[in-house]
Amino acid sequence: MELKEKLLSSFMAFEEKIDFHQELHDVRSQAIKNFENKGFPTKKEEAWKYTSLNTILKNDFSVFPKKENSIEFAEVKKYFLHEIDTYKVVFIDGIFSSFLSSTSHDGLDVCLMSSALNKPKYKMYIDEYFNKIASKEESLTSLNTAFASEGAYIHIPKSKVVEKPIEIVYFSTGSEAALMVQPRNLVIVGENAHVQIIERHQSLNDNPVLTNSVTEIFAQKRAIVDYYKVQNDVQTANLIDNTYISQKQESNVSVHTFSFGGNITRNNLNFYHQGERIDSTLKGVTIIGDKQHVDHYTLVQHATPNCESHQNYKTILDGSSTGVFNGKIFVEKEAQKTDAFQKNNNILLSDKATINAKPQLEIFADDVKCSHGCTIGQLDENAMFYMQQRGIPKKEAKALLMYAFTSEVTGSIKIPELRSKIARIIADKLGVKMGFDL
C-alpha cells in the first residue's frame, strides 16, 4: 500500500482513539481532504521544483509506533545542551517521555499538545491560535494538521523573561523498520515576554525515518523569541519542517537553522507581520556532503509599515550533495518604510555538488529599502596559499576559511553554550580538531 493510501485509511481509526471537540474534528476533516486532493508535493510544483520526495515515499513507513520505547539519559546526553540547565520536552518515537523531560517551570505553561487539545482549560487558546497561521493549502502542513496529536505546547505569559532555554527534542529509536512521525508544536509568547527555544530531531539508528513537523509561533507586542533548529541527523533520516510565525507590533523574532545531517531536509519558514516596527531575522548554516539534500524555502510577508527583516544563509556543499535556497520577500502596498535584506552565499567543494538559488523580491510599496544578493564559488585559493606559507597545513587552512565563512551566522547565536556546541559540530563536519570557538 502506498503511503498516501495508508495515511488516508488510518485517519478514521486515528480520530476514533483520541478525544476531540467538534471544532477540532472539522479542522482535521478539512485538512485530510486537502491532503487527499493534493497528495505529496512533486517537482511539478514551483515551490518543490528542486526537491523530490519519490525515493523517500518508497519506504513502507509505519504511521503509528506499535509500542512505547524507553531510552537511558546516558545514551542521549550528547544531544542535549548539558553544559547549562534547561527545560526539556522530550519525545521518543512521537510519544512524550516524562523520564527524559524536565518541565518543572516557574510561571510557564509548558505541556503536551495532546493535553492542550483536549483539556477545557486550554480551549480558549486552542480556538484562538491552533492552525490559525499554518498554511491551509500546503499539503504536508494539512497532513500534519489532520493527525496533530502530540508535540510541545508552550505559553509564556505577559512580561515573563524565561531564564533558561527550552529544549524540544524528538528521538527516533528505530524499533520500527521505517517510521513516520508528525509532531505539532504551538508556541505563544505574551507581551514583553522573552524566550529561547532549541529544537532537535534525532534518529538513534539507521532505520528510515520521515518527520513531518509543524510549528506555529505567535509573538505578541514587544515579545522577543530566539528559536534555534539543530539538524544533524543520520543519513537515513528525512525531515520536512514547516514553521509559521506571526509577529505583533515591535516584536523581535529570530530563527537560526543549522543543517548538517540527514538524507533529505526541507525547511519551510514563513514570517507574517501584523504590526509596525517589527524585526524578523532568518539565518542558517548548511554543511553537507555525500548525496545529502537540504532545501531552505523562506517567506517574509511585510504587511505593515516601518518593519525590518534580515536573511543570511551560508551553504558549504561537498561530494554529490545538493542545496536549495528559495527565499521570498513580499512587501504589500501598505508596508511603506520597509527595510528588507536577503543574502545567500554558497561554497562548492566538489565538482559534483549542486546549488539551486532563487532569491525573490515582490514589492508593491514605493518607499522601501530592499535588497538581495547571492554568490556561488569556491574557497579563495590566494587565502589558502597565504595561510600555508605561514605554516598552517592545507586541511586546517581550509577549515579556517570555512569557519570564517560561517561566523557571520554563528556569531549571532545568543546562547554561548549553544554557540560552542555548533562550533564543535562544524569542526567535526570539516574533519578537524577545534582549538577555538566561533
* Top-confidence residue, 82 or 310: 310
Distance CA 181, CA 174 (A): 12
Residue 108: per-residue pLDDT:
79
Q: Please report the pLDDT score of residue 103 as a whole number.
A: 77
* 185-194, 210-219, 388-397, range with the lowest pLDDT: 388-397
**Average pLDDT for the chain:** 92
3-state secondary structure of 96: strand
Confidence of residue 175 (pLDDT cuts 50, 70, 90): confident
pLDDT for 287: 96
pLDDT at residue 363 tops 70: yes
Query: CA 251 to CA 263: how far, in whole Å?
Result: 35
The pLDDT value given to residue 438:
40
Reference 284, options 238, 241, 224, 236; nearest CA is: 241
Quick: pLDDT tens for 93-144: 999 998 999 876 667 788 889 888 888 889 999 999 999 999 999 999 999 9
Q: Which of 393, 299, 303, 289 is nearest to 349 (CA)?
A: 289
- Residue 436's pLDDT band (boundaries 50, 70, 90)? very low
Percent over 90 (pLDDT), the chain: 76
Sorted by sequence, the CB contacts under 8 Å of residue 175 that are 6+ apart come out as: 65, 66, 67, 69, 93
Q: Does 210 score more than 80 pLDDT?
A: yes
**Across residues 284-290, what is the average pLDDT?**
96
Strand partners, 194: 161, 224
The pLDDT, as a whole number, for residue 135 is 94
- Cα 16 vs. chain centroid, distance in angstroms? 30
Question: pLDDT digit string (tens) for 5-38?
Answer: 999 999 988 887 776 677 788 899 999 999 999 9
pLDDT for 155 = 95
